[in-house]
C-alpha cells in the first residue's frame, strides 16, 4: 500500500509514502469531517490512498492572493 499526496490546486505530486501500514489516526484523517474526507481522500482499488493537499507554491499564492480561495484550481 502507498499513500500519494497531490496538490488539489495544481496537481503537483507532493510526495508518496510507499510500503507503509498506518491507521487513519496516524495520518490525521480521522479529524476530517465526512465532507472533507470525501473531497480530500480517495481509496484506490489496489489499496493505495490518494490524499489531496496543498503544495508550498500554491500556499504562497493563496497567502499573497486571498481571492484565490474561491477557485478550485490555481493556474500557475
pLDDT greater than 70 at residue 76: no
Sign of the dihedral through C-alpha 24, 25, 27, 28: positive
C-alpha 8/C-alpha 21 separation (Å) is 24
* Per-residue pLDDT band at 28 (split at 50, 70, 90): confident
Beta strands 3-7 and 49-53: pairing type? Answer: parallel
Q: E strands along the chain, which residues?
A: 3-7, 13-17, 41-43, 49-53
Q: Using alpha carbons only, what angle is made at residue 60 by residues 59 and 62, rounded to the nearest 5 degrees?
A: 65
Q: Is the pLDDT of residue 57 over 70?
A: yes
Q: Name the pLDDT band for 73 (thresholds 50, 70, 90).
A: low
Amino acid at each position: 500500500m502507498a499513500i500519494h499526496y497531490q496538490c488539489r490546486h495544481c496537481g503537483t505530486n507532493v510526495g508518496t509514502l510507499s510500503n507503509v501500514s498506518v491507521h487513519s489516526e496516524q495520518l490525521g484523517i480521522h479529524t476530517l469531517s465526512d465532507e472533507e474526507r470525501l473531497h480530500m481522500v480517495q481509496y484506490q482499488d489496489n489499496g493505495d490512498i490518494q490524499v489531496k493537499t496543498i503544495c508550498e507554491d500554491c500556499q504562497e499564492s493563496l497567502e499573497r492572493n486571498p481571492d484565490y480561495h474561491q477557485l478550485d484550481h490555481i493556474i500557475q
